[in-house]
Chains A and B, each alone.
Chain A
């Protein structure tokens, strides 16, 4: 059973470009979470999605950032008009769903390391 897949693993963008990060959850998982890790810091929650629904986006910056988890295909984290401060590692996690998410274990992907020049 493949784990959480993320691509690309590394992404370089120039200021003002768009970054698209993809996440395929573990097979059978219907909940997806995105976190951001800045250098020398822990992970910060960004957004929690279920299929076709954004459940909690309280950690997402109000501008330039968006996320989706369509009925078919991977979850996408999109950053428009990137700035240097967006440089970070972005991790996706998934959990089975189907019940209360509080006790569920989240399984993490390998991350996408975004560098903005």
Chain B
């Protein structure tokens, strides 16, 4: 079965330090992977996605993620954290080998709360 794991409920970093938010996945085929960010009482904002090609994907607000097939991971990274990055981050996956309607839906992790302190 398809699944996504975000092993850390919360990540704390100091402003200016690099940050990493971890994500591992389990799908039967080659995955399509997504990162979203959610601010309090708001919807999800798309950050970046991996479909194919270069394993390092660059996205919005200085974020990037690296697809690692051997480790089945898609960790989100940023070289220098900002206080305004504090939010809830979700990793999501689709299995493109699915056929029919289920090829459309996203499977989400439980989310990781990022807290960046000044």
Q: Give bound CA distance, A35 to B34, whole Å.
A: 16
A97 CB → nearest B CB, Å: 10
Q: Give bound CA distance, A45 to B95, whole Å.
A: 14
- Interface segment among A13-21, A53-61, A65-73: the answer is A53-61
Q: Which residues of A contact B105 (CB under 8 A)?
A: 33, 45, 48, 56, 58-59
Specify the chain A residue showing the minimal Cβ separation from B109.
A42
Q: Give bound CA distance, A102 to B34, whole Å.
A: 11
Q: Give bound CA distance, A100 to B42, whole Å.
A: 28
Residue pair B90, A55 in contact (C-beta under 8 Å): no
B residues 82-118 touching A (CB-CB < 8 Å): 90, 94-96, 98, 100-111
Residue pair A102, B102 in contact (C-beta under 8 Å): no
Q: Give bound CA distance, A101 to B100, whole Å.
A: 10
Q: Is B22 an interface residue (CB 8 A)?
A: no
Q: Give bound CA distance, A106 to B44, whole Å.
A: 10
Q: Which residues of A contact B103 (CB under 8 A)?
A: 100-102
Known contacts A42-B111, A44-B108; A108 and B43 CB within 8 A of each other? yes
Number of B positions contacting A (CB below 8 A): 28
Q: Is A109 an interface residue (CB 8 A)?
A: yes
Q: Give bound CA distance, A48 to B102, whole Å.
A: 8
Residue pair B43, A55 in contact (C-beta under 8 Å): no
Specify the chain B residue showing the minimal Cβ separation from A110.
B43
Known contacts A102-B96, A107-B46; A58 and B101 CB within 8 A of each other? yes
Q: Give bound CA distance, A35 to B108, whole Å.
A: 10
Q: Mask for A31-46, Cβ within 8 A of B = 1, else 0?
A: 1010100000111110
Known contacts A105-B46, A108-B43; A42 and B90 CB within 8 A of each other? yes
Residue pair B34, A55 in contact (C-beta under 8 Å): no
Q: Give bound CA distance, A113 to B40, whole Å.
A: 12
Q: B104: which of A56, A108, A109 is its contact (CB, 8 Å)?
A: A56
8 contacts between A and B (CB under 8 A): A4-B43, A33-B106, A42-B108, A43-B44, A56-B101, A102-B32, A108-B45, A110-B42
Residues of B in contact with A (beta carbons under 8 Å apart): 32, 34, 36, 41-46, 49, 51, 90, 94-96, 98, 100-111
